[in-house]
């Protein structure tokens, strides 16, 4: 059986789209939180996203049969953890420099390794433990406890990575049964309900009219980022795509310097490099296990 040849150039172009989308979401997320809290932001983001996904389903499919699922438990668990992770990410966005948040977010694949035994029944081998240890060292280099103040933003960045990791694990399970449009439909609908419910507890704030473009930008960027990343992974192996995603760190660091006068800390890049090395070792290990014997 022949396999499709990797297309690294096309994958790189899609990764540029993913990086641009992540940058837009970070800038728009900060702009929105000048007025709204993260729960309100998640409500409006999900509402915009739901309208977009529902329109796409109606135009492409003609009806909503694609949203039928028998795996409600998987969807609910996935969306709870994704909602948690995304809220932590938006919270961290307001407390620490963009470069630190992105570097901590890069630990997500390492948390997948740690939690796979719990959710997927995989064994935690000595090699995986070593990869986890290397990633944890990278986190310490990024946060620099004892050298500079460590605040709740750093904890939020790590918590976001944990939430995204569990989300990824359950997304893999769901994709064995349901289509992408089904996943996105229930994600935007359920997370919109979660955001609205939690917003009402503390008193719902209506955004100003001038905030509408930023809210739309957050919703659209969230969808295009993941679509671009998924497409890139379909065009080239993860071992090729992962280094491309690492380019997001220096770019977002420069955006932080330009827009918010954030310091350009070289230790963040050193720590991110250690985290990336752990991720790359994990990818190589996974790829080697998947290779058929000659």
Mean pLDDT of 40-61: 93
Residue 193 has pLDDT above 70, yes or no: yes
255-274 per-position pLDDT tens digit: 999 999 998 889 999 998 99
CB 93 within 8 Å of CB 30: yes
Residue 2 lies in a domain: no
78-89 per-position pLDDT tens digit: 999 999 999 999
- Tell me if residue 204 falls in helix, strand or coil: coil
Residue from 92, 90, 86, 93 nearest 194 by CA: 86
- Tell me if residue 130 falls in helix, strand or coil: helix
Share of the chain above pLDDT 90, in %: 50
Domain span at residue 85? Answer: 8-290
Q: Is the pTM of this model over 0.75?
A: yes
What's the total number of domains in the chain?
Answer: 1
What pLDDT is recorded for position 147? 67
- Tell me if residue 2 falls in helix, strand or coil: coil
Mean pLDDT of 39-58: 94
Residue 212 lies in a domain: yes
What pLDDT is recorded for position 1? 38
What pLDDT is recorded for position 288? 61
Residue 3 lies in a domain: no
**Sign of the CA dihedral with 104 first, then 107, 162, and 89 last:** positive
Residue 114 lies in a domain: yes
Residue 16 lies in a domain: yes
Residue 20 lies in a domain: yes
CB 100 within 8 Å of CB 157: yes
Residue 80 lies in a domain: yes
Mean pLDDT of 34-51: 94
Mean pLDDT of 8-30: 92
Mean pLDDT of 207-226: 91
Mean pLDDT of 175-200: 92
136-172 per-position pLDDT tens digit: 898 988 888 766 778 899 999 999 999 998 988 888 8
Residue 180 lies in a domain: yes
What pLDDT is recorded for position 223? 87
């Amino acid at each position: 059986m022949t396999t499709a040849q990797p297309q690294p150039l096309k994958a790189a172009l899609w990764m540029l789209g993913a990086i641009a989308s992540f940058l837009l979401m970070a800038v728009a997320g900060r702009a929105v939180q000048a007025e709204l809290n993260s729960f309100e932001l998640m409500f409006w983001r999900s509402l915009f996203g739901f309208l977009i996904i529902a329109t796409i389903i109606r135009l492409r499919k003609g009806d909503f049969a694609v949203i039928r699922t028998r795996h409600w438990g998987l969807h609910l668990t996935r969306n709870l953890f994704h909602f948690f992770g995304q809220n932590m990410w938006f919270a961290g966005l307001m407390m620490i420099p963009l470069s630190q948040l992105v570097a901590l977010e890069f630990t997500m694949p390492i948390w997948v390794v740690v939690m796979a035994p719990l959710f997927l029944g995989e064994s935690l081998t000595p090699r995986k433990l070593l990869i986890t240890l290397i990633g944890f060292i990278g986190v310490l280099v990024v946060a620099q406890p004892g050298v500079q103040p460590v605040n709740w933003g750093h904890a939020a960045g790590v918590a976001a990575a944990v939430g995204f990791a569990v989300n990824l694990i359950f997304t893999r399970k769901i994709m064995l049964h349901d289509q992408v449009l089904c996943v996105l439909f229930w994600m935007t609908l359920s997370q919109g309900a979660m955001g609205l419910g939690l917003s009402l507890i503390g008193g719902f704030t209506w955004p100003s009219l001038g905030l509408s473009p930023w809210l739309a930008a957050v919703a659209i960027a969230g969808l295009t980022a993941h679509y671009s990343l998924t497409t890139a992974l379909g065009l080239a192996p993860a071992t090729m795509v992962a280094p491309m995603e690492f380019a997001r760190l220096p770019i977002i660091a420069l955006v932080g310097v330009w827009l918010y006068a954030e310091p350009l800390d070289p230790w963040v890049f050193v720590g991110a490099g250690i985290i990336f090395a752990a991720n790359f070792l994990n990818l190589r290990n996974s790829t080697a296990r998947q290779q058929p014997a000659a």
